[in-house]
Amino acid sequence: MKLCSYNHEEICFEGRRCPVCELKEEITAWEKEGEELKARIECLKDEIIDKEQV
């Protein structure tokens, strides 16, 4: 067993992560997905503007 890399009292077990680490990873994934969605929205806005100008 080793302590996870963050400063909390949960312990990471071999082959598993503690709930705190799992949540932090999930939040990071959601943040990345959010950034990707923002970029997609900007692309769609640009497409709409281009179509309106035609």
Q: Look at residue 1 and tell me whether its pLDDT is greater than 50.
A: no
Q: What is the pLDDT of residue 53?
A: 87
Tokens, residue 27:
């939040």
Instruction: Give me the pLDDT at residue 35, please.
Output: 97
pLDDT digits (tens, 9 = 90+) for 3-32: 566 555 556 666 666 777 788 889 999 999
Torsions phi, psi for 52 (to 5 deg): -70, -30
Cα–Cα distance for residue pair 39/18, rounded to 1 Å = 32
User: Is residue 4 within 8 Å of 20, Cβ to Cβ?
Assistant: yes
Q: What does the domain layout of the chain look like in residue ranges? A: 2-53
Beta bridge partners of 2: 12
Please count the other Cβ atoms lying within 10 Å of the Cβ belonging to residue 18: 17
